[in-house]
Structure 1
Amino acid sequence: MAQGDSTSFVDRDLQGARFRSSTLAGAVMRGVDVRGLDIDAPWLTDGPLVVNSVDVVPLVEAELNRRFPGRELRHAPDPEGLRTAWAKLEHAWAAVVERAVAMPEGAVDVSVDGEWSFAQTLRHLAFATDAWLGKAILRRPQPFHPLGQPHAEYETDGFDMSVFATAQPSFAEVLELRAGRQAMVRDFLRDVTPELLAEPRPTAWSPEHEEPVRHCLYVIFDEEWEHLRYAVRDLDAQA
C-alpha cells in the first residue's frame, strides 16, 4: 500500500499482527476485539487516543508519572526546575542500572523482542546527548562519541556512520560513557540561565530549522524517560 493510501479491513483476523515503525494516525476501529492489544507510542502526548469516546492520553500520562516519579518535571520551564528534573532522572536511572548489574551475567546484552539491549540503550542515550547538547546547543564540530548508538535508519539519511565503533564495547566502557554524558548535562544545567534557555539553536537533524535551547533539552529529557520505560519493561521480561 502506498504511503497515504486508505484501506479498510472488514471481518479480518489480525490476531498477532505486528506494526513496527509504522503510522496508524487517524485510523478508525469500530466493533473491534482489542483484548491483549499492546500499544507503545512514544509520541502519545501529541494525542488524542480515543477509546470508547474517551481520550485516554491524560490517563496514560498520569499513570506513567505515578510509576516514574520525576517524569512530570521533564518539561520544566525554568533552570531550577530543569536541575531538579535532571536529578530525579539520574536517581531513577541509578536504580535501574543497579538492578541490571545484579542480574545474571550477560543480561545487559540481551535483546528482548528485537529491541535494543540494556547496554545499547545506554549507548543510545549518550548519542542523544551528543546530538542535542553537544551538537545542537553547544555547536561542537565533532560532537559524537564513537561508542554512541544511533538509529540504523540514519545511515539511509546520509548520516556519517563511520564515526561510530563497530566492535561491541564492554559494559564497563558503556557505564563510563554514560556517566560522562550524564555529567555533561548536569554541568550545563548548573549554569544555565533563563536567557540561554530562550536562545535559538539549529536543531540536531534539521539545521535549517531553529528551536530554543529549552526545546533541545526537552528532547533529551523525553529520550531519557522513554528509554527508562523501555529498559524497565525489558528487564521485567528477563526476570
Structure 2
Amino acid sequence: MLKIENIDAYYGFIHALKDFSINIEEGKIVTLLGANGAGKTSTLKVISGLLNPVKGSVTFNGENLLIYPPEKIVSMGIIQSPEGRQIFPQFTVEENLKAGAYTRKDKENIAKTLDKVYDYFPRLKERKKQYAGTLSGGEQQMLAIGRALMAKPKLLLLDEPSLGLAPLIVRDIFRIIEEINKEGTTILLVEQNAYQALSIADYGYILETGKVVSEGSAKELLGNSDIKKAYLGGN
C-alpha cells in the first residue's frame, strides 16, 4: 500500500532520515518506535508532503507521492492525527469533527460517518455541543482521532496518541485503534509506548537517529530480549 525506499531527509543541517525504508501492507497496523529525535515524526511529515526528502521514493498504491502537495495527499486518503492533538479549542466537538470532512465529495454520507465516530467514542457524543478546549486530555485525543476518521482515511497516521494520558485512557484509545483497523483502515502508529504499540500492531520498525535498526513482526519484537531491555523495560 505504502512503500518508502532509501529516503534521506533533512531539517536544515540535521540529517533526520538516513537511507530510510519501510513498507506498510493494506489492512495492517504498523508501528514506528524510538526515542525523541529518532525520526518518527519526520517519517510522517515525508508521507504527508510536509518534508521533502533529498533522495529516495515514496509510493502509495503505486503512485509517487513526492510530486504532490499535502492537500492532494490528503485527498488521496492519507490522513494524520497529529501529535499534541491540535484540535480547534474555540469550536464545539461536533464542529471539530465536521471540519475533518472538508475534503470529502460525498457530502450525503458525512452524517453516517459522524454516527460511526460517535459509536467509537460515545463520550464525544455526550459532549458534542461542548467547546473542544474544555475537554480533558483524553477526550481531546479521542476528538483528534475522530476528526481524522471523518475524512474516511485509507491510511491513518497516528502520531503519539498515548502521549500524556492516564493508563486507563491509553487502554481505551488503543482498544479503539484496534477496532478501527479491524473495520478496514490501515494504520501507521508512531508511539513511544513500545509495549502498548506492539501489543496491537502486526509489524514494527525500531528507529534510532533516523535509521531503522530493527524490524519484524510485533510478536518477534516483543520476544526479542535485546529489544525488551532497550525499549520495554525488560531484563
Query: Relative contact order: is structure 1 or structure 2 higher (C-alpha 8 Å, sep ≥ 6)?
Result: 2
Greater strand percent: which structure? 2
TM norm. shorter chain > 0.5: no
TM-score w.r.t. length of structure 1: 0.28
TM-score w.r.t. length of structure 2: 0.28
